[in-house]
Amino acid sequence: MPDFGLTQDTILTITIAFLIAGLVKGVIGGGLPAVAVPIMAGAVEPAIAASLTLMPVIVTNFWLLFQGGHSGDVMRRYWPFLLALAIGSAIGAQILVTAPPEAMALAIGLFVVVLSPLPFISKNWAIPIQTQKWLNPIAAGGMGIVGGATVMLAPVIVYFVALRIDKNIFVASMGAVALASMAALFATLAANQVLAADEILMSTASLMPTLIGVVAGTWLRNRISQTGFQRVLFIALLGIGLNLIYKSLA
């Protein structure tokens, strides 16, 4: 990665952040900003850390959305959710650039930790399809505001766990979710001059460690069962939640 005037320690932190985040992304389909931004937050400002996820988010989520041939199904089933999520994210992104999000990050961390065992709850418990029709847009709008303010889509991951869908459709859905949410976030960061040419170049340089992680994570996901996927998802959610709590209190 070029130095961009950064110290070697900062470059190393950013590289490790995207390598780990890419690995998580490849396995569960989500968690790239939720993992990368808290790791980078000790080295760069949170809004800058969020802006650096631009290219990794775009490239990896288009990849995950289209790689398994599930994109059409995902868009038909969840377009109201995605639209509401984008609108909520645009509102929440204004909070990110104007107010410290530590309190919200703490609340999300606690929420995710409490609900992290959800993958192990009996499949007989799920959000009914009829309920999803009216609940999806409402939930998406609220989670979009939270996600835009904190650059964390962990609550959306938890919500989709409750939909009880196949692991590959789940991953494709996470790609669509991230694109819908982060597009609004990045537009807001650009409008507030937090995302400019230097950040775009740094974000592009971050693609290499991210893609290495995603390839490794995808390889792992293709070799584990649905039950194994649920276990990995639980560990990832628990880790994301605990990391959010730690960073918000640090």
Q: Provide the domain count of the chain.
A: 1
Residue 215's domain comprises: 8-249
- Each residue of 44-89: pLDDT tens digit? 877 778 788 889 988 988 888 887 788 888 999 899 999 999 999 8
According to the model, what pLDDT value does residue 18 have? 94
- Each residue of 29-39: pLDDT tens digit? 777 887 888 78
Q: Has residue 105 been placed in a domain?
A: yes
Structure-token match 């009829």, residue found: 130
Q: Has residue 226 been placed in a domain?
A: yes
According to the model, what pLDDT value does residue 97 have? 64
Model confidence at 19, pLDDT cuts 50, 70, 90, reads very high
Q: Has residue 3 been placed in a domain?
A: no
Structure-token match 């990995």, residue found: 232
- pTM greater than 0.75 (yes/no): no
Report whether pLDDT(241) > 70: yes
- Each residue of 100-136: pLDDT tens digit? 666 666 766 777 777 677 666 666 667 888 888 899 9
Q: Has residue 2 been placed in a domain?
A: no
- CA–CA dist 47, 106 (Å, integer): 17
CA atoms within 13 Å, Cβ hemisphere of 5: 4
According to the model, what pLDDT value does residue 229 have? 79
Q: Has residue 1 been placed in a domain?
A: no
Report whether pLDDT(213) > 90: yes
Contact 229, 36 (CB under 8 A): no
- Each residue of 134-192: pLDDT tens digit? 999 999 999 888 877 776 777 788 788 888 888 888 888 988 988 888 787 778 778 87
